[in-house]
Structure 1
Amino acid sequence: MASGGEVISNKQVLFKNFVEGFPKESDMVVKTSSISLKVEGSNAVVVKNLYLSCDPRMRHHMMKGKDPGFVSFKPGSPLEGFGVAKVVDSGHPEFKKGDLVWGTVGWEEYSVIKNPAESLFKIHHTDVPLSYYTGILGMPGLTAWAGLYEVCAPKKGECVYISAASGAVGQLVGQFAKLIGCYVVGSAGSKEKVEILKNKLGFDDAFNYKEEHDLDAALKRHFPEGIDIYFENVGGKMLDAVLLNMRLHGRIVVCGMISQYNLNQPEGVHNLMNIAYKRVHMMGLIVFDYFPQYSEFLEAVLPLIREGKIVYLEDIAEGLENAPAALVGLFSGRNVGKQVVVVARE
């Protein structure tokens, strides 16, 4: 950083210490430091953060080295996650001042990105809301698209079930599947969310899993002939019930297991032999594997947004001071749709 650059205040959400059990707002603290807005002699860029994405995957980074593939947050440093930002200064030839980008940024007003070519995508299409690049046009959208089309290869008329269906990823999986001509059912954790799935997002049906004493019976009620595709976001008892209801040669894509993230001892799954009996294909999904296909994804999804063929619901929290509550709320199902934090508006 150049010593002659303008130095201004920089509000940050700092990670206090490693977390066990459910994360709390008190596991984070909002403080103000300072930052220079000038960079020289390196490939780094300085960005002004506009929107931050609250994602369940961030829970893994709050643990001390327990999950392979997840680098733990550093106590005393800002949290990191996906966000939308504007380049303030650049020492990298591929990025210039004023460029809009999305990718991994700090939970702060301004961030220094040391390797922007590895962590940022340029935003070329601004005829859609910029916040969409935290959701439908960012990591969650690519996750839904890759998991459904690349892993599950759905066919018209197949039966698709999505857990956590009103979330950032689930709401898109259901709509993508409906566009193909699938029968789509989702589950969520409130009456309000169930109504949104059916009336706003076009699902064929939906149910509140909290009101179901027998998940196996609930699935048999909605899928009397079984499930062809299950988009897994929950894990635990839900996965156990789904395994009993899969059809022959069904496909399960494991995107997440949010019911297990805050447990010291994850729940066991007892019906795994159904994978063998029914010749089920079950595959894990990590979205980073599909980043090389991002331009292909944009070509497929941007027209759907522009033509009004797909709806995307956002839950907006204003200001960095409200970011800890927004993140923690993911794990109690407080959000409706994609949880976004507004840091600054363009």
Structure 2
Amino acid sequence: MTPLSTTISQKRVLLVKPIEGSKPDRSHFRTVSVTEPVPELVDNAVLVKNLIFSLDPYVKPADYTAIDGSPVVGFGIATVVKSKNDEFPVGAILFGPLHWEEYTVLDQMALAEGFRLDQALDRDVPLSVYNGILGLTGLTVWDSLNFVGNLKAGETIYISSAAGTLGQLAGQLAKRKGLRVIGSAGSDEKVAFLKSELGFDGAFNYKTQDKRQALTELVGEKGLDIYYDLVMDDTLDVALELLNAHGRIIGIGALSVHQGQAPYAPKNLMALIEKSLRYEGYMVYERFDQLEAFWKELTPLVKSGEIKSGETLVQGSIEDLTETYLKFLNGGYTGKVNIEVAKN
């Protein structure tokens, strides 16, 4: 590893204005060039070189009190180049919350939102996969289905936004458990992918088909047992109508909110009582103790191809982050979207 000099010259993406409550566009971001001294680290902090950014529906400012000019924070993979933390020595590879820039300082609080990768990496698996199906998104799906879903063979699960990384894996894991799997996606191409490549039992295009009619027809007389909600829109009302007694809604994502819509409030919540339904949200950050079991089960399945992982890996730079992110939000890619800005 090349030693650091006394200064760092790098590109950095900044937020110009808040994006909550509006759909992000180019006017929300600007990219700047900076030259700064190599930072002095406080105890338990590290300086990392950012390698591969994960593009996810949510990003946030590094400083909520000063939005204008605050760095953008997403997630990704990086390598440690300077350390005052024994658990993350120089050369360690980690997944964590990274600023959209070439080098980032992570303090102890930021490191608690991530985890070390190099001790678990399988060298036969591309590093970018640990941003997706073998990373935080994969753990989210695997653990939420096990911990909250209580899946039973013969049940029917419906997955919204099913062509994304979370939805793809949820469908495949549910199929392996013997469930009937229905999904929705935003293009005919993605719908075909779900059925022909991933083995979904049914799927529909939510942009061109009436959601209530399409889902009702696909669910049929058996009814719905689990709604795996990645969107948080008016589909909730449809699901509440179709769910069987003791059905479950697993709240995982809010894609509609990240696309500028107001959070949706279901109108028929009485169904929760009338049908003894369970509606439970899930956050993965309390469940990192499951990583070892997750990797033990999923890594062989990913390597063998039994679990398919659709991915778009964009080769680019920090200057490409904004455009790639906006294209991702508008449905321009299938599967997990990563952008590689540097090699390890």
* Match of residue 34 from structure 1: 35
Asked if 1:334 corresponds to 2:341, the answer is: no
Aligned to 1:24: 25
Deviations 1:26-71 (A, max 9, x none): 211111112445756632211111101111132xx3699xxxxxx6
How many residue pairs are counted as aligned between the two chains?
334
Instruction: Report whether the alignment pairs 1:195 with 2:188.
Output: no
Structure 2 partner of 1:152: 149
Q: Give 5+ residue unaligned stretches, structure 2.
A: none
Match of 1:240 in 2: 237
Aligned to 1:219: 215
Aligned 8 A contact 1:62 1:72 in 2: no
Q: Say which SS state the counterpart of residue 169 (structure 1) adopts.
A: helix
Q: Give the structure 1 partner of residue 140 of structure 2.
A: 143
**Cα gap change, 1:39 to 1:93, in 2 (>3 Å):** farther
After TM superposition, list the pairs within 5 Å mapping 1:318-329 onto structure 2.
318-329=316-327
Q: Does the CA contact (< 8 Å) of 1:320 and 1:342 recur in 2?
A: no
Contact persistence 1:18–1:63 (CA under 8 A): no
Q: Sort the Cα spacing of 1:152 and 1:98 in 2 relative to 1 into closer, same or farther, 3 A.
A: same
**Within-5 A mapping of 1:57-96:** 57-58=58-59, 61=60, 74-96=67-89
Q: Is the 8 A contact 1:186 1:206 kept in 2?
A: yes
Structure 1, residues 70-95: CA drift from partner, whole Å, max 9, x if none?
x6784312211111011112121122
Shift in CA distance, 45/62, structure 1 to aligned 2, threshold 3 Å: closer
Root mean square deviation, CA, Å = 2.2
Mapped partners of 2:309, 2:78: distance in 1: 20
The answer to whether the 8 Å contact 2:61/2:72 transfers is no
Q: Could you tell me which residue of structure 2 aligns to residue 162 of structure 1?
A: 159
Match of residue 67 from structure 1:
none
Identify which of 102, 116, 122 aligns with 2:95.
102
* Deviation, structure 1 residue 199: 1.7
Offset from partner CA, 1:242-273 (integer Å, 9 cap, x none): 11111111111001222234446444422222
Q: 2:306 aligns with which of 282, 293, 309?
A: 309
Q: Secondary structure at the match of 1:78?
A: strand
Aligned-pair CA distance for 1:120? 3.5
Give the AA of the match of 1:223: V
Q: Please give the TM-score of this superposition, normalised by the length of structure 1.
A: 0.90
Q: What is the identity, as a one-letter code, of the residue corresponding to 2:116? A: K
Q: Percent identity?
A: 37
In structure 2, relative to structure 1, the CA distance for the partners of 1:217 and 1:63 (3 Å cut) is farther
Partner secondary structure for residue 17 of structure 1 = coil
Amino acid at match of 1:90: S
Match of 2:342 in 1: 344
Question: Which amino acid counterpart does residue 300 of structure 2 have in structure 1?
Answer: P
In 1, Cα distance between equivalents of 2:62 and 2:238: 29
Q: CA deviation at 1:220?
A: 1.8
For the residues of structure 2 that align with 1:293 and 1:72, how far apart are their CA atoms?
34
What does residue 68 of structure 1 align with? none
Secondary structure class of the residue paired with 1:292 = helix
2:142 alignment partner, SS class: helix
- Counterparts of 2:235 and 2:28 in 1: how far apart (Å)? 29
Asked if the contact 1:63/1:72 (under 8 Å) is kept, the reply is no
Closer, same or farther: CA 137–251 of 1 in aligned 2, 3 Å: same
Distance 1:25 1:41, change over 3 A: closer
- Who is 2:13 aligned against? 13
Deviations 1:173-215 (A, max 9, x none): 00111111111111000011111111222212211111213x2
CA distance in 1, matches of 2:309, 2:61: 28
The corresponding residue for 2:281 is: 284
Q: What is the CA–CA distance in structure 2 between the aligned matches of 1:96 and 1:282, rounded to whole Å?
A: 42
SS of the residue aligned with 2:173? helix
1:202-236 residue CA offsets vs partner (Å, 9 max, x unmatched): 212211111213x2221121111111111001122
Measure the CA separation in 2 of the matches of 1:303 and 1:223. Answer: 32
Task: Report the Cα offset of residue 144 of structure 1.
Answer: 0.7
**2:254 aligned with 1:257, yes or no?**
yes
Letter in 2 for 1:180: K
Quick one: structure 1 residues 242 and 40, their matched pair in 2 at CA, closer, same or farther if it must change by over 3 Å?
closer
From the superposition, tell whether residues 149 and 126 of structure 1 become closer, same or farther in structure 2 (CA, over 3 Å).
Answer: same
Q: Which TM-score applies when normalising by structure 2?
A: 0.90
Structure 1 pair 265/120, CA: closer, same or farther in 2 (3 Å)?
Answer: closer
Partners in 2 of 1:290 and 1:117 — Cα distance? 15
Answer whether contact 1:39 1:46 (CA < 8 A) is retained: no
Per-residue deviation at 1:5? 4.6
Tell me the distance in 2 between the aligned counterparts of 1:267 and 1:72: 27
